[in-house]
Amino acid sequence: MARRPRREPGALEREILAAIAAAGRPLTPAETLAELGVPLAYTTVMTTLARLHDKGALTRAPAGRSFAYAPAADPDTLDAALIARQMIRVLGAGAQRAETLARFVADLSPEDEQLLVGLLAAHQPAADVDSADGGPRR
């Protein structure tokens, strides 16, 4: 498979952070690789995890012969969800708010919803059909 058509520097770092957060528990390099679901070299994942640890984005604890990595939750960022919600309220308060937030998908109209449900059903890959209810993976 001709993979990795274009890759931003730092994209893998963000994908790894997202994968660990999605798993909801500390992951070893091997587990992270499995969670990413792309054909990457084990060493690439290991080096990136170590770099994220150096940058303070991840904490790690010994697990067997390797480390298990978890999101770094330092006290200052614990209430990130709260900060984010506050900001959304502030930005939503303006009558004609500028499009300051660029949402991946904005609020849906009822017809949008039906369209998306239809699209999801039409584009379900064969391997994923048994979890086609759109719920959490696996």
Stretch 47-66 residues interacting with other proteins (CB under 8 A): 52, 55-57
Residue 90 interacting with other proteins (CB under 8 A): yes
d(CA 16, CA 34): 11
Q: In terms of CB distance, is 56 or 62 closer to other proteins?
A: 56
Q: Which stretch binds other proteins (CB under 8 A): 39-47, 59-67, 87-95?
A: 87-95
With binding defined as CB under 8 A, does residue 39 bind other proteins? no
CA distance 63 to 50: 14
Strand, coil or helix: 132: coil
Residue with tokens 């719920």: 135
C-beta separation of 33 from 27 below 8 A: no
Kindly identify the residues of this chain, within the stretch 99-128, that bind other proteins according to CB under 8 A.
Answer: 99-109, 111-125, 128
Compute how many residues bind other proteins; rule: CB under 8 A: 74
